[in-house]
Structure 1
Amino acid sequence: MRASITTSLFTALLLGFSVSALAQDSVALRVNGVPIPQAHIDFIVAQLKERGTPDSPELRAKIREDLIIKNLLLQEANKTAVSQDPAVQTELALSQQNIVLKGFVRDYQKTNPITDEKLQNEYERIKSTLQRTQYLARHILLKTEKEAQAVLAALKQGKKFESLAKQSADPGSKDKGGELGWAAAGDFVPEFAQALLALKKGQTTTAPVQTQYGFHIIRVDDTRNLPPPSLETIKDELRQELEALQLDQFVKSLRARAVVQ
């Protein structure tokens, strides 16, 4: 919380609010006679609300106290030549640039909004890629490759997978015949997922699959395709992606026209 408030305060100071232009009743408090505008407090509250921190009297009291401490330190800093330090000047200039750029991006997105039509078109374009295949798989986890090979040999001799699963090192599935429940390949570690993707319904791996957990014998009992999520459920995420893409294209167009010497 302290870091967030301090960051917002620093941002507010860099924005350079005009204190002298404020009416007397817009001053929230004075520190050694130096006015702190109510606008500073409101700005920080708004910044924190955007990050999920609700407004409250306790929050405002905390911001008020941080502003007092910050301004006391600034008053001491102004008694020195620290503000003329080249490194401080450079950092201040870069920070100001970043704040202006952030404001520009915000305004650019407002004047170039991603419409519902654009969202719908993009959703239709990628909808087929959003479908997920789930696998109903079983596995037997062994600590050594030798043990895994022995289980494979037993399977070839006609032993039931479910019975052999009782010797699995996975306590969560050994008493369920090794069943892992419905899951997408991406829900497993990469080596396991790769083996799963190579299997068809009813097939078992012909060799042990090594992962960080040990050696697996895997069988796929069934597969199913899940429908893609609705546009409504991914609307915000999709909008952000399109906004980023649009901004990237704008930046590239600026770069292409720029004269750099």
Structure 2
Amino acid sequence: MQMKALFPDVVVNGTNIASADIAAEAQNHEAPRGKPGIAWRKAAHALVVRQLLLQEAARRGIDADPQELEPGRFETEGEALVRGVLEDAIQTAPPSDEETRTLWQADPDKYRAPPLWSVSHILVACDHADDAELERAKTRAQSLAERVSAKPESFGRIARAESDCPSKSRDGLLGQIGPGDTVPEFEAVLRHLGEGEVTPQPIQTRHGWHVIRLDAKAEGAVLPFEIVAPKLRAAMEKRAWGQAVRDFVQGLAASAEIVGVDLSQPL
């Protein structure tokens, strides 16, 4: 009795896509642990799209002209053909000033200068590779957070006595910081704290455990249209190009004979 293959054959207009190629491509796609079929479907989908574009490049007589992506690294012939057919097929009009301004006016509050935060903290440093030390540091930081919560006015005194950061000499004051000035976990907390608020639980970063107080916050001013317009236009052009590519591929798929993959199904 012949055993059924784990995954179906994939064929695009009579061209077979080897299972080994799909398996290799699957390593580039995320999937939940224990569900390799999801990565396989994503990989098969990607290779079917690539094959459709390569076949269309051949139909249009596109010649491969590999471009240098970075010093010493060039596109493969396949990558050059895919780029070539998309450049030949996709034409999008740049957004007009009116369209760009309409998008900006819909929610100008989205387009602000970066905020500034005035921040103080108490750091309990530790070696993250040592699980026992990590847990001891967390327990100590939690105790400090509870002490600050019980007596908020004691924050500076506790920082001077307990913090492992040089800022302890300034009562834990880090001064003014903006986006990108600190590690992501620390910054994420600042975006949700109110002025004068202290984190009730210690926050872990690669530096250790932190008890954080947001002393003041200055929201960035709304940026004028003239400043925002170039980035808005670039984003609008990128979205339009992406949608045009999706529409083009869907058109190729609709007129193709594809076995083993349904491009209309969400991944």
Q: Which residue of 1 aligns with 2:225?
A: 231
1:122 to 100, 103, 111: 103
1:242 aligns with 2:236: yes
Choose between structure 1 and 2: higher helix proportion: 1
Ranges in structure 1 where 5+ consecutive residues have no aligned partner = 1-12, 16-43, 52-90
RMSD, matched Cα: 3.6
Instruction: Kindly provide the CA deviation profile for residues 7-64 of structure 1, in whole angstroms up to 9, marking residues without a partner as x.
Output: xxxxxx966xxxxxxxxxxxxxxxxxxxxxxxxxxxx9xx99xx9xxxxxxxxxxxxx
| TM-score after normalising by structure 2 | 0.52
Q: Which residue of 1 aligns with 2:163?
A: 168
Go from structure 1 to structure 2 and tell me whether the alpha carbon gap of 1:250 and 1:206 turns closer, same or farther (over 3 Å shift).
closer
Please list, as runs of the form range in 1=range in 2, the aligned pairs for 1:2-21 lying within 5 A after superposition: none
Go from structure 1 to structure 2 and tell me whether the alpha carbon gap of 1:183 and 1:103 turns closer, same or farther (over 3 Å shift).
farther
1:101 to 80, 83, 86: 86
1:142 aligns with 2:135: no
Structure with bigger gyration radius: 1
| In structure 1, C-alpha distance between the alignment counterparts of 2:152 and 2:239, rounded to whole Å | 56
Q: What is the CA-CA distance between 1:214 and the residue it aligns to?
A: 0.9
Identify which of structures 1 and 2 has the higher relative contact order when contacts are C-alpha pairs closer than 8 Å and 6+ apart: 2
**Structure 1 letter corresponding to 2:124:** L
Instruction: Kindly provide the CA deviation profile for residues 141-169 of structure 1, in whole angstroms up to 9, marking residues without a partner as x.
Output: 11223442453355335763223323422
**Structure 2 letter corresponding to 1:238:** L
| In structure 1, C-alpha distance between the alignment counterparts of 2:111 and 2:190, rounded to whole Å | 19
1:259 to 255, 262, 267: 255
Q: What is the CA-CA distance between 1:115 and the residue it aligns to?
A: 1.8
Q: What is the CA-CA distance between 1:184 and the residue it aligns to?
A: 4.7
Q: What is the CA-CA distance between 1:185 and the residue it aligns to?
A: 6.4
CA contact (8 A) 2:117 2:217 kept: yes
1:209 aligns with 2:208: no
Instruction: Kindly provide the CA deviation profile for residues 178-226 of structure 1, in whole angstroms up to 9, marking residues without a partner as x.
Output: 2233345665434333433443222222232222211111112222221
| In structure 2, C-alpha distance between the alignment counterparts of 1:200 and 1:232, rounded to whole Å | 32
Query: How many equivalent pairs are there?
Result: 174
